[in-house]
Structure 1
C-alpha cells in the first residue's frame, strides 16, 4: 500500500514547552530551523512534497504541488525582506501548496484559497504553533472534541461561511482560506488576508483562453511524459477535459468509467465516445453490478482525516477502481472533482447582475425561472432582497430543522443555501448550531460584497475542502487523487469571468466549453444531461440494513448528544421515507463513521509511520504563560 501523507508543524521563533518538542521529535522524520537555530518546521515529507530555500535570514518553503523548482524558490527567497513581501516574491507560482516563511524571527503560514490545503493553530505553553492538520494539534494537546462543530457537520453542504470547515477540537482554530497566519517572536499572532478575488470583468472570449491555460498548467504539474496516469472518465465535461489535457502532455492514460443501471443513463456512451478519441488510452468500464455495492465496508475502520467525509457510500467502489489502475502501473489519479463548483457561479449571480445591468438581469432571471420552474413570487423576493450577510445569517437560525413542505427546487434566497439540520438532529444540536450562527452573524464579513460572488467563492472552497479529504485518504492507499479544478490559479481564472457569461440559463458550463473548444470532443462539450446512481444507492442501503441497524443501536452521534436515538433509527431503517434526499443521510453516516474511526485510531496514522530526526537540545526553560492573541479574522467566527 501507500505511505503516510505529508504532515508538518510550524513553530514560532521562541522557546516552546519541552514536552511539546519531545513529542514532535519522537514522531517527526525531518526538521528545519529558523535562522536563530530554533526549530521552525518539523514533520515528515518526501523531497518532491516540500521544497525549501534559504537566503540570509530568510527561510522559505512550499509544501504540495507547486510549479517552482528548488532553484527558482531560492531566487524568490532572495527577494523577501519582510513577511509582507512573501506573496509578491512567489509571483505567479501555480499549483496547490502551503507557503511557510521565517523572516527576522517572524513566521508566516498559509494554505490555499480553495481550502484544499489548510492551516490550524493552537496555543501551548511557550507560544502558538500551527499545522497542516487539526488532528496533529489535537494529538499534541489532548484536545477534546467540540460538540458544536460536530453538530455543524450534520448540516452537510448547507453549512455557511464561516461555520463550514471549522476545527472539530476545542482550543484549535482554523485559519480561514484566503488568510495567512503571522506568528511574532514575542508570542503574539494575527491573521491577515493574502488573497483578493479578481474583478470578475473578463468577457468569455478572454476568460476562456485563460482558464484553458490554467487547467493546462495544473494538469502538467501532475503528469510526466510517458508516465502511467489513472484518470476518471465519467462522460461529463470536467473529467473528460482533464483526460485530454493529460494526453496532450504525453501521459499514458488508464481511464475508468462507471456504468450505472438507471434506464436511459448516458454517461458510458459519452465516455466511450471520448475514449475512442484519446490517443493511446486504456479504457476500463466497470458495470455497477460487478463492483462492491454502495455502503460496502461500513464496519471497516480507517484512519480518519480532520473531519467527516460524505464519500462513505462509494468508498469500496473507488478503492476497487484505484486497485485496477494501480495494477496497470498508474502512480496517481486525476479527478474532475470541483468542476461543478468552480467553472460557473450559482444562480444567485442574477441578484448582482440586476443591479449592474437591469435589462440583462431580468432576462437571465426569466430564463432561470423557466429552466428551474421557480415560482414568480420567489424570484421577486430573491431579486429584491437587500439584507446584509450578518442579518441573513442570524435569520437562518429559525429554520434549522424545518422540513420542506414538498420537494421543489426553490429560487435561492439570501446569501446561500439555508443551513439545514436533519429531522433526527437533537434539540441540543439545534441550539449549538444556532448559537454559532448568531455569534458569527454579529461581526463576520462575507467572502465578497456581492452575494452571488460570495456564494461562488464559498462553493469553490467547499470543493477544495472535499478535495483535501480525497487527497488525504487516497495517499495512504497508494494512488493519490489530484483535483486540478481546485488549484488556486484555476479558481482565479474562473472568478475573473463575467458571471453572466460563465453561467447562463441557455447553455451548460459555457466557460469550460469555450475553454476546451477544439480539444475535447464537441459531443461532450454540448452535453446538457447529468446522470445519477440512485438505483445503486437504494440497493446499497437495503443490502447493508443489518449494519445500519447496529449503528442505530449504538450510535456515537446519539452518545455525543447531537442526534435523537429514535428518529435516527427510523431514518437508517427506512431511508425511502427521507424528505431531504440522500445528502442529509450521507452527512450523518459520514459523521458516525468518523467518530467510530477516531475510536479505532486515537493516534493519527501519519504520526506513527516515521522515525525521529536528529535530537536538538532544549535551549531554555519553558515559558509558562500562554501568549496574547491578536486576531484580525472576523469576530464571531467559530474555531
Structure 2
C-alpha cells in the first residue's frame, strides 16, 4: 500500500512504519511507504525549510525551489494542475496542505507524546490498534446523502480526518492547528473555457510518465471527455486505449454505440471487454482487500478487478483514467432551486422548479412548496430534522422529489434502534457545530463537500487498483478542476434539469455530434438484480455478520430485504448495497494483517 506520513517532531519519531522511505536523512519523521514514482514524490530544501509535493502535480523543479526558498502560500493546492498534498518542515513546525478533492486524504492521531499524521487511516490504525468507528460507519449507512456528518471522522476510532482545502500546522511539542484555506469563490469570466483548460492539463499530466495509458470509454460524457482529451494530448510514441465493458455477445446499442462513435471520430484505439457471469455484481466479495474505508467498487469488485487485470495483462497499461466525480461536480444539486428562491431570484426559481418537475415527473405545486420551505431553513435546522427522523422522534417527511439541504430516505428496516440513535446523535452534533453558509454560495459549498466525499472514498478504490498493479486516476477530483468548476456564480450556474452544459461547451468541437446531444446515461440495474440473485445465498449468510454482532443490524430484516430486492421488487439499492459493502469491509479488516510499525526508541 502506498502512503505518506510523519510525526509532529520529525527529528525524533518514536515509531516509523516498516520499509519506509525517508527523503531527508535529517528528517526521519517524514516518510513515504510503497512504490513512489519519482514524478509523484518530489522534494526541495533550503537552509531552513524542507518541502515535499506528493501526488500528480504540474509544478516544475524551479517552482519547488521557490517554495523552499520563499515559503508556501495557502493557494498551493490549486496553484498547479493535479491532485497533490504539500508538506513543509522547518525548525519549529510541520505544515501540510491538503488538496481540494480528497485525492490524498489526511488523517492524524495522538500517540507517543505527539501527533502522527498520514494519508492512510488504515496505516495509523496499525500503529494505535484502533478499531473501526461503528458510529461513523452507521451514519454513512443510514444517511449516505449527508456526507457532512462524516467530516472530521475517519473510519477508525481515535483517528481524525482533515478536510480538503485545509492547512494543518503541527508544532514539535505536539500542538495542532487546523485552518480552512479554500472555499468556492464566484468568479466572472468564461467558465467553460476554464473547465476545458483545466481538464486538458489534468489529463496531459497523466501522460507525462507513461508510454501506455487506458481510459474508460463508457459512452457517457465524463469518461469520454477525458479519453478524447488524452488522445489529443498523447505523443506519437504513446499509446492510448479507450476501454468499454459490455455484456458478453451484446456488441451494439446504448452506451456501446456512443463509445464507438467517440472512438471512430477521434482515432482512439478502442478495445471492448466482454462481461460474463464471473463479473456479475455481488460476486467475489470475499476477495475485496482491506482499505482505508469501504470502497465504492465493493459491490462491483468482480468487474472492477477483472477489468484492471485484463488491462494490465492484455494492454500493458501503466495507468487508468476514469470519469468518477463528473456527475457530482457538473450536475447542480436540487438544493440550488431553494437557493435561487432564498436569493430573491423567484422567477428563475419557479421556472427551473417546473423544468425539474417535468424531468422527474413530479407534481409541480408540491415541489414549489418544498423549494420555498427549504429556502426558509438553514443547515442547522435541516440537520436537526435529519436527527429527528433517524431517531424516530419525527416521522419521515421527505416525499419523493422533495427539495432540501440534506434529504434522507426512511431508515431501512434492518437498522436497529441503537444504530438509528447513534446516527441521530452524530447529526445533532454536526447541527451544533456547522456554521451557516451564505446565500449565493450554498450550492457550490454543498457540491464541494460532496466532491470531498467522492475523492476520499475513491482513494479506497485506488488502493485496490494499486494492489492489482495499476495507478488509478480521477481527473475530475483534481484541485484546479474543482476550483474552476465551482467558481460559476449562482445566477450563471446550470440548473438541476440541465445535463452538464458546462462540459458540453468545454468540449465543443471535440465531442462527436451524437454525444454532445446526449441527455441520459446507461442503466445497470438489471445487472445488479441478476448478480444479487446469483449470489443470494452468500449475501443471506452475511446478514448474521459483524454488523449484526455489533448490534447495528437486525439479521432477519436484512435477509428479508435482500430476498425482496433480489426478486425485483422496487426496493432502493441504497438500502442494500451500503450495508453489504460495510460488512465486506469489516470482514476484510479482520483477515488482513495490520500495517507494520517499528519502535525507534527500542533500537
TM-score (norm 1): 0.86
Q: What's the offset of the Cα at 1:89?
A: 6.2
How is 1:28-177 mapped onto 2 (pairs within 5 angstroms)? 28-30=20-22, 32=24, 39-41=29-31, 43-46=33-36, 47-80=38-71, 85-88=72-75, 92-155=79-142, 157-163=144-150, 166-177=153-164
1:525 paired residue among 508, 513, 516: 516
Match among 223, 237, 241 for residue 254 of structure 1: 241
**Deviation at residue 147 of structure 1 after TM alignment:** 1.9
Task: Determine whether 1:559 maps to 2:559.
Answer: no
> Which structure would you say has the larger RCO, counting Cα contacts within 8 Å and 6 or more residues apart?
1
**424-433 or 104-113, which deviates more:** 104-113
Give the one of 308, 319, 322 matched to 1:322: 308
2:254 — aligned with what? Answer: 266
Structure 2 distance, partners of 1:580, 1:407, is 17
2:495 to 500, 504, 508: 504
**Count of residues in Structure 1 that have an aligned counterpart in Structure 2:** 591
Partners of 2:541 and 2:160 in 1: how far apart?
A: 34
- Structure 1 residue 42, shift from structure 2 partner: 5.3
CA deviation after TM superposition for structure 1 residue 304, in Å? 1.3
In 2: Cα distance, 1:448 partner to 1:33 partner: 47
Q: 2:199 aligns with which of 215, 227, 240?
A: 215
Offset at 1:263?
13
Query: For the residues of structure 2 that align with 1:424 and 1:591, how far apart are their CA atoms?
Result: 14
Paired position in structure 2 for 1:425: 415
C-alpha contact (below 8 Å) 2:542/2:580 kept by paired residues: no
The answer on 1:245 being equivalent to 2:245 is: no
Secondary structure at 1:87 match in 2 = coil
2:360 is aligned with 1:372: yes
Q: SS of 1:445's equivalent?
A: coil
> What runs of 5+ residues in structure 1 fail to find an aligned partner?
620-639
1:463 to 430, 436, 454: 454
Are 1:389 and 2:379 matched, yes or no? yes
| 3-state DSSP of counterpart to 2:55 | strand
**Deviation of 1:352 (Å):** 2.2
Q: String of CA shifts for 1:315-342, please: whole Å, max 9, x gaps.
A: 1112222223222221111101111011
DSSP 3-state at the match of 1:221: helix
Task: Name the CA distance, whole Å, in 2 between partners of 1:550 and 1:616.
Answer: 44
Distance of 1:356 and 1:213 partners within structure 2: 33
Q: CA deviation at 1:76?
A: 2.3
CA–CA distance in structure 1, aligned partners of residues 59 and 528 of structure 2: 43
- Decide whether the 8 Å contact of 2:143 with 2:408 is kept in 1: no
Preserved CA contact (<8 Å) 1:344 1:494: no
Query: TM-score, normalization: structure 2?
Result: 0.90
Cα deviation per residue 1:343-393 (whole Å; 9 max; x = unaligned)?
A: 232121122223243322222222222222333123223224322211211
Answer with 329-338 or 444-453: which moved more. 444-453
The answer for unaligned runs of 5 or more in structure 2 is none
Deviation (angstroms), 1:254: 1.5
2:476 alignment partner, SS class: helix
- The superposition leaves residues 268-299 of structure 1 with CA deviations (integer Å, 9 ceiling, x where unpaired) of 111111111122x3212234446522222022
- Residue among 485, 505, 512 paired with 1:494: 485
Query: How far apart are residue 448 of structure 1 and its match?
Result: 5.9
Q: Secondary structure at the match of 2:424?
A: helix
Change in Cα spacing, 1:529 to 1:470, as seen in structure 2 (3 Å) is: same
Contact 1:396 1:419 in 2 (8 A): no
Give the direction of change, closer, same or farther, for the CA distance of 1:407–1:456 in structure 2 (3 Å limit). Answer: closer
Work out whether residues 232 and 335 of structure 1, in 8 Å CA contact, stay in contact via their aligned partners in 2.
Answer: yes
In structure 1, the partner of 2:170 is 183
Instruction: Determine whether 1:550 maps to 2:546.
Output: no
Q: RMSD in angstroms over aligned alpha carbons?
A: 2.9
Provide the rounded CA distance (Å) in 1 between the counterparts of 2:161 and 2:397.
Answer: 37
How far apart are the structure 1 equivalents of 2:568 and 2:398? 13
